[in-house]
Amino acid sequence: MSRVSRTPTPHRGRRRWCDTPEDRSEPVTSTQDDQPTGVPAPAPVGPLRDLMYGHIHASALRAVVEHKIADLLADGPRTAEELADRSGTRADPLRRVLRLLAARGLFHEEDGAFTLTDSGTALRTDVPGSQHAPVLMFTDEMFRLAAAGIPGAVRSGEPGFDAAYGCSFFDHLAAAPDKSRLFDAAMTSRPGTVNAHITDGYPFPDSGKVVDVGGGRGGLLRDLLTRFPGLTGVLYDRPGTVAEHLLDAPELEGRWSTEGGDFFTAVPAGGDLYLLKNVLHDWADEDCLRILGAVRAAMTPGARLLVIDAVLPDDGTPHPALDLDIVMLMVLRGRERTAADFRMLLDSSGFRLNRIAETPSLSSLIEAEAV
């Protein structure tokens, strides 16, 4: 930003800071000075402005989440002064941040008081599918620095995270327990309807053993065992992750076990159905082949594998997982894949791709069979 004289001066043929047709409320007329004959009109800047200000919106969002402003609005409208008093913040900057986020549809301001919109309600910590933890994770320094490294990733192909931290994302989590807990909480906080779409969208057997490979704290396995009481299950992930599992419910007693290990080398054997939910997109093709190879080695012919991941259209059609594909670029060596990509990985690992079914959520259900 440049210094601006306090005394307005006449100007012709010049535009001031943010003085564009999209930014001004008054009509804009063209003059010979403003728009010389034969010169194309300036391109619209609205979408570009949203992109270049994106990090500002993300930081404003983090501010209200860190101070749990949404929780303070659970019982109804409050002024910025009331919210500041209860959150230990200052009213004026808080009001300005809330005003920005109101323009983005998370809050509503009326008569000097703020309320939550339906979208903003997801920021509360006490609602099903709370997005409090995911917001804290994706606006954490880890992701901000990784995103800043995208220009370098475009040149080198290496994740921006590795350049910023000198190690891989998962190695960093292993050495930083607080970040690991944040990651696990964010993964667990995904809306419960996502698991419902999975349990509704696939014909799970009435009996048998399910092995959830890379299953985190076991949210999906818990829902499966609850929905299908004839199933048993094994939760398999990093030892520190499975130690904080979500399976210890009375109605599931005796029907589950946990194992910690490395899915690159081996996974529990003897399962009838293996799950890989949001695992393969974290990894490059060569790593996916190692994971799938370990899974296939644990399976008997005819056993089923259910891969739960986004499937990108192969014709360039916009898809919500395109954002996530860039997260993979900046943080890991993974990627979102097309149906042809998944078929190649599965064919190369001793599987036959049977079918792909879309769900109302981001992910599709990719069923394969061990051959």
Q: Does 281 qualify as catalytic in the annotation?
A: yes
Query: Torsion over CA of 172, 175, 176 and 179, rounded to 10 degrees?
Result: 40
Whole-number Å distance between alpha carbons of 131 and 231: 30
Alpha carbon 128 to its chain's center:
17
Whether 34 contacts 93, CB under 8 Å? no
Please report the sign of the dihedral spanned by the C-alpha atoms of residue 246, residue 249, residue 251, residue 255: positive
* Sheet order of strands, 107-110 included: 78-79, 113-116, 107-110
Query: What's phi and psi for 129, nearest 5 deg?
Result: 70, 25
Phi, psi (deg, nearest 5) at residue 208: 125, 180
From 67, 132, 245, 281, active-site residue? 281
Report the C-alpha gap between 99 and 109 in whole angstroms.
7
Tokens at 102, concatenated: 């109101």
**Considering only CA atoms, which of 40, 2, 43 is closest in space to residue 21?**
43
User: Which residues are catalytic, by number?
Assistant: 281
